[in-house]
Structure 1
Amino acid sequence: MLDALSSCRPSPEAESLERPPACAAGLTFDRALALLVGQAAPLGTEPVSLAEAGGRSLAAPVHAAIDAPRYDAAAMDGFAIADADLEAGITRFVVVGASYPAAPYPGAIGRGEAVRIMTGAPMPAGTDHVLMLEHVIAAAGTIRLEGRPGRRHVRPRGSDFAAGQRLLPVGRTLDPRALAVAAAADAGNVIVWRRPRVTFVASGDELAAPGRARATALGIPDSLGDALALAVCEWGGVPVRVVRIADDLGALAGAARAALDGADILVMIGGASRGDRDFAKAALATLDLVFADVAIKPGKPVWYGRAKGRHVLGLPGNPTAAFTIARLFLAPLVAALAGRSPAHVWMPVPLAAPVAATGDRETFLCGTLSLDGVRVIERQSASAQLMLAEADALVRFAPGTPALAAGTPVDTVRL
C-alpha cells in the first residue's frame, strides 16, 4: 500500500525539505517525518564498558582482538588422534593423557596414541582428528575404534573470526546477540552514540499524578507521562523526568525553559490544538517551528520545532492519539539521535477481519497481531485508553481507502 517509510525515504512530494508554512494543514505524514528526521543527527560519542553497553548503538566498529577459536580446538568430547593413523589402518590406540580447555595436554603424541579431550580444549601436537565417544570402546587405558571414524570434529584456529576482523559495524544496536559477539572479540569497552535525554511536560488543569486524581471530583490521572517515558527507554533514549503543569501560560513557559536545560528532546503533551487554553507552542518564546498540523488521523495537531538547539515535539493530549504520534514521530527522532536507523519497518500483513472505509486523511489504527494476520480493533477513539492494553500494532491506510476484505495486505508496524 504505502512503503515510503520502509527505508525512511520521503515520497516524491517530500523530496524538498524546505519548511512549510506554520499550521500547513495539508502536510503529509511522509513529508512531516522527512522534515523531522532531516533535523536529527546522532549526538556525541562516549566509551562505555561492555557490561553497560546493552541497547546502545555503536559509533565505532568492533574489531576482533583475538582469533576465535584461539587454537585448533575439539568440537566435541572424545579422543584426539592423528588422521594419519586412521589412514594407516590403526584401530587400537593407547590413551596417554587428557586435554581440557584451560589445561591442554603438554606434549605431542606418537604413532598409535590418543588423548582424551573435552569440547573446546586445544588439540595436542600431532593430532588432527577427534573420535566421538560413541565410536570407540574404552578399556584398560586403550580405545578401539568401532565402525567408521566419521568427521574430524575439529574447529581450526580463526575459523569463526580472525584477530583484526571487523565484526560489528557502526550503527549496530548492541542487542544480546551483538553483545555476545563483542564479548567473544574480547572487547572490554566499546564506543557508542550518546543516548538522547527526553523530558516530558504534560499540561492540563485536570491532570494529576496517578493515584491522586481521586482526591478531587474533576481530577484525571496523567496516563501518558510515565508510559511514554518507558517507551523512550525501549527506543534508545533516557527519560529525564515527567512534569505536570496546569493550563497557565506563565507556569508552562517556566517549566518548558527548565526542561530545555537538561534535555535533548522536550515532549509537550497536550495543549497542541487551538483551544482557549492550548498554550504549548506559545510557552516556547524561542521556538523555531518546523511543522504544525499533519493530514493524519488521529493526531492531526502534532507539531515539531527547535528551541535553544533542542528538539521539541508536541503531542495531542488524547491518550491513543498521543501513543500513535509518539510511535510515528518520537520513536524515529529518538532513534536518529541515538545513532539508530530512524526507519519504520512497515510490513504487509493480511487483515484478519474486514475493515470499513477510512476518511480523506491518512489513517493509523490500532490493531492486534496473530497467526491470522492483523485485526483492527473496533470502535477506536483518540481518547480511549483501555484498548492500549490490547493493541500491539499500528495499521496504515492511505487517504480515501475503501472498505477492505479479510486477507487484504495492509502496511503494519509494531506499536
Structure 2
Amino acid sequence: MISFDEAVRLVAGTARPLPAETVRLAEAHGRVLAAPVVAQVSSPSADVSAMDGYAVRKAGLDGLPASLRIIGQSFPGAGYPGQLETGTCVRIFTGAPVPDGADWVMMQENVRCDGETAIVEDIGSGPHIRRVGSDFRAGETLLQAGTLLSPRALVAAAAADIAELTVHRRPRVRLLATGDELANPGAARLCAGAIPESISFGVAALARQWGAEPVGSVRLRDDLAAMQPRARAACEGVDLLVVTGGASVGERDFAKTMFGDALELVFSKVAIKPGKPVWLGRVGEVLVMGLPGNPTSALVTARLLLAPLIAGLTGRDPAEALRWRTFPLSEPLEAAGDRETFSRAKMEGETLCLLSNQDSGAQKMLVAADLLVRRPAGEVGLAAGETVQVLDF
C-alpha cells in the first residue's frame, strides 16, 4: 500500500498527453492547445477611433471655438478614402479607421454641428486613437501550447484570425460497474435486494468536467467467467476504463482478476480514507483505474486521482486538478487515524463546516459537500482557528 503523495506522483507520470487533432474554433472550448496560437493579423490592423466623434488635425485647432468643414464619414470596415487637410474633419465612429492626415479624435459631445460645419468648442483630452498593433502584432504568439481554452482564450484566438486550433485529443472513457446488487436507476425497486447503480453517473460527469469524453457504461454481474470477455471488450476503442466496485478481497471481488494476465498494475492500494482500494493499471495501451464500490469513496477517489489523470491526458498539468489551499477551522477536529483522511465539508458563508455523516456509503451528504479537508495520518487534534488544507470537491 502506497501513500497518497506517491499515488499522485504515479498518476502524473502515467498521464501522458494524447495525440493532437485539429478542431474548429467553435468546438475548442475546454480543450488544451497542442500548438501555440500565432496571430495572423495585427490588432488593430490600422489606427482606429476609440469613440464616436470627429477626426481632425490637432494643429489646426489652436483657437477655439473653431469651425471645420465635414468632408465625409468613416465607419468600421468602410473608412474615409481621402486625405484630411487642415480646416476639415471627418465624422468617425468607434472602431473606424482614422483617415490619412488625422491625428486626433474629438468626442462628439465637444462638437456642435451646423449643416456641413462642425464647430469645435473643446478639444478634449484625446487623442482617442487605438494605434495599429497596440493590442498585438501579426506573428506574435498569443496563446502557448498547454493553454486550457477558456472563453477568454477563444476571444484571443479568434482575434488572431484563426479558424482552427491544434488541440490534444479528449480521452475516451468508458465506465464499468461491477456487482450483483446493481440495477438501473428506476428499476431497482422492482427487484428484491437490488440497489440503484449511482456511481457511474457521478464519475462520468466528473470525467467530462475534467475534459474527457465518456462513451457509455457497462454493468457486470460478479461472475468471473462471464466478466472476463466483457472486461476485455470494454477496453476496445477507449483510452481509459474506469471500473467501480469489486476491488476488495471478498470472494466475489473480481475487478482486477477479470483482466487476467493482461493487467499491468501501476499501484493496487493507497493509504487513504475513504478510498483505500483504489488502483491503477494498464491493459495494453488502455489505462484502467479501479474505484471503490461505495459511492462516497468512489467520488472522493475520483476527485483525488481520476481528475489529475484525465487532466494529464488532455495536455494539462495534472497538478492543476489538485490545487490545495489553507482555510481556518470553525470548530475543533479530533485526531486523525492511521491513514491520510479526506473529510467532506461545506462552506456556510465564510465558515468551513465538516459534514456530520462521513460514512463511505453516504450519498445524500454528497449533495452538500463542496470541499475535501485533508488530514495527514496520525495528525493530532486541531483547535478552532487552526488551518487545514482544502480542495474544491
TM range (shorter): over 0.9
CA separation in 1, counterparts of 2:24 and 2:311? 21
- Corresponding position of 2:304: 328
- Corresponding position of 1:138: 113
Question: How far did 1:370 drift?
Answer: 4.8
- Corresponding position of 2:390: 412
CA separation in 2, counterparts of 1:292 and 1:148? 75
TM-score by length of 1: 0.91
Deviation per CA, 1:5-44: give whole Å up to 9, x if none. Answer: xxxxxxxxxxxxxxxxxxx2xx110001111221221111
Question: How far did 1:402 drift?
Answer: 2.7
- Contact 1:363/1:398 (8 A) holds in 2: yes
- Contact 1:355/1:376 (8 A) holds in 2: no
Deviation per CA, 1:78-127: give whole Å up to 9, x if none. Answer: 11111222357673322221110021111111112111111100001111
Question: How far did 1:354 drift?
Answer: 3.4
Please state if 1:249 is matched with 2:224: yes
Question: CA 1:148/1:111 → structure 2, altered by over 3 Å: closer, same or farther?
Answer: closer
CA separation in 1, counterparts of 2:375 and 2:118? 70
- Contact 1:272/1:279 (8 A) holds in 2: yes
CA separation in 2, counterparts of 1:236 and 1:405? 39
- Corresponding position of 1:239: 214
CA separation in 2, counterparts of 1:354 and 1:379? 16
Deviation per CA, 1:218-276: give whole Å up to 9, x if none. Answer: 11001111221111111011111111111111222222101111211111100011111
**Counterpart residue identity of residue 134, structure 2:** S
- Contact 1:266/1:311 (8 A) holds in 2: yes
- Corresponding position of 2:245: 270
- Corresponding position of 2:340: 362
Question: How far did 1:135 drift?
Answer: 2.1
CA separation in 2, counterparts of 1:114 and 1:408? 67
- Corresponding position of 1:126: 101
Aligned 1:376-415 pairs, distance under 5 A: 376-415=354-393
Question: How far did 1:352 drift?
Answer: 3.8
**Counterpart residue identity of residue 344, structure 2:** C
CA separation in 2, counterparts of 1:251 and 1:76? 72
Deviation per CA, 1:356-407: give whole Å up to 9, x if none. Answer: 3321211111122354143221221110001111111211111122332333
CA separation in 1, counterparts of 2:347 and 2:122? 52
Q: Which moved more, 1:192-201 or 1:357-366?
A: 357-366
- Corresponding position of 1:304: 280
Aligned 1:108-119 pairs, distance under 5 A: 108-119=83-94
Please state if 1:280 is matched with 2:258: no
Deviation per CA, 1:272-303: give whole Å up to 9, x if none. Answer: 11111111011111111111111111001111
Q: Which moved more, 1:132-141 or 1:41-50?
A: 132-141
Question: CA 1:348/1:360 → structure 2, altered by over 3 Å: closer, same or farther?
Answer: same
- Corresponding position of 1:19: none
CA separation in 2, counterparts of 1:79 and 1:323? 61
CA separation in 1, counterparts of 2:190 and 2:86? 88
Describe the SS at the equivalent of 1:104.
coil
Please state if 1:350 is matched with 2:297: no
**Counterpart residue identity of residue 384, structure 1:** A
Deviation per CA, 1:133-157: give whole Å up to 9, x if none. Answer: 2222223222233345112111000
- Corresponding position of 2:236: 261
- Contact 2:64/2:121 (8 A) holds in 1: no
Unaligned runs of 5+ in 2: none
Q: For this pair of structures, how many residues does the alignment match?
A: 390
- Contact 1:352/1:372 (8 A) holds in 2: no
- Contact 1:349/1:373 (8 A) holds in 2: no
**Counterpart residue identity of residue 230, structure 2:** A
Question: CA 1:139/1:401 → structure 2, altered by over 3 Å: closer, same or farther?
Answer: farther
- Corresponding position of 1:73: 48
- Contact 2:357/2:365 (8 A) holds in 1: no
- Corresponding position of 2:139: 164
CA separation in 1, counterparts of 2:351 and 2:278? 30
- Among the aligned pairs, what percent are the same residue? 49
CA separation in 2, counterparts of 1:383 and 1:109? 77
Deviation per CA, 1:334-353: give whole Å up to 9, x if none. Answer: 11111011011111122344
Deviation per CA, 1:184-237: give whole Å up to 9, x if none. Answer: 101101111111111111001110111111111211001111221111111011
Q: 1:197 aligns with which of 172, 175, 180?
A: 172
Question: CA 1:322/1:139 → structure 2, altered by over 3 Å: closer, same or farther?
Answer: same
CA separation in 2, counterparts of 1:133 and 1:352? 57
Please state if 1:219 is matched with 2:197: no
**Counterpart residue identity of residue 4, structure 2:** F
Question: CA 1:143/1:351 → structure 2, altered by over 3 Å: closer, same or farther?
Answer: farther
- Contact 2:339/2:377 (8 A) holds in 1: yes
- Corresponding position of 2:66: 91
CA RMSD in angstroms comes to 1.5
Describe the SS at the equivalent of 1:131.
strand
**Counterpart residue identity of residue 30, structure 2:** G
Question: CA 1:49/1:77 → structure 2, altered by over 3 Å: closer, same or farther?
Answer: same
**Counterpart residue identity of residue 281, structure 2:** G
Describe the SS at the equivalent of 2:365.
helix
- Corresponding position of 1:210: 185
- Contact 1:90/1:112 (8 A) holds in 2: no
Unaligned runs of 5+ in 1: 1-23
**Counterpart residue identity of residue 397, structure 1:** R
Q: Which moved more, 1:375-384 or 1:309-318?
A: 375-384
- Contact 2:346/2:352 (8 A) holds in 1: yes
CA separation in 1, counterparts of 2:326 and 2:291? 27
Question: CA 1:318/1:69 → structure 2, altered by over 3 Å: closer, same or farther?
Answer: same
